[in-house]
Amino acid sequence: MHQSYRFAIAYFILFGALLLASGMVLFFSKIGFSYEAVESYYLGNEALFTSPKSSYGLLEVALPHLGSMGLFIMVTGHFLLFSTKQKKHHAIKIVIALFIVALLDIFSGFLIVEGWTLFIWIKLLSFIFLQLLGLYLLWLLFISVWQGIVAHKN
């Protein structure tokens, strides 16, 4: 792999990590990481004077997330094509899992609003798995690029 690709991928890893970190901070500050907080966010809370989310409002949030999460996962997975065959096989499973948890994370809000409160847990778990798997995929990419840099110097 050419050195300029390694630099581009390294910057992508940095921006990807910042994206995941900012998503975690925003989720925590806007919604919270408890069952009650997620329930209150989507279904409203009279004591806090918050109204329930509408399907239209959720759609306005879901559409940009579909594009950005899909692009992030696809590009990260694509960059792993430059790694070893063993990492590629492992990365394919992670990419598929990431797409699944991203879709669960995005669409669970719609089901919560429709009264399927089980999806409050799914929302929390899918968000946590999305963050962890995203970081893990970036870590695999980082290791792949780092090994390429070290091998290039030797």
Candidate from 75-84, 94-103, 124-133 with smallest mean pLDDT: 75-84
pLDDT at 154 over 60: no
pLDDT at 88 over 90: no
Instruction: Decide: 95 and 130 in contact? Cβ < 8 Å.
Output: no
Count the alpha carbons within 13 Å of 2 in the hemisphere toward its beta carbon: 3
Instruction: Decide: 53 and 41 in contact? Cβ < 8 Å.
Output: yes
Burial track 4-15 (b if 16+ CB lie within 10 A, e otherwise): eebeebeebbee
Share of the chain above pLDDT 70, in %: 90
For residues 105-110, give the mean pLDDT.
95
For residue 33, what are the contacts with CB-CB under 8 A and spacing of at least 6? 27, 124
- In which domain, by residue range, is 144 found? 3-153
For residues 21-50, give the mean pLDDT.
92
Tokens encoding 5: 């690709």
Burial of 79 by CB count in 10 Å (0-12 exposed, 13-18 middle, 19+ buried)? buried
Whole-prediction pTM: 0.86
- Number of domains composing the chain: 1
pLDDT at 152 over 60: no
Q: Give the pLDDT score at 114.
A: 93
DSSP 16-63: HHHHHHHHHHHHHHHT-SSHHHHHHHHH-BTTTTBPPPPHHHHHHHHH
Distances (CA, A) of 147 to 26, 78, 104: 33, 17, 34
For residues 58-75, give the mean pLDDT.
93
Mean of all residue pLDDT scores within the chain: 88
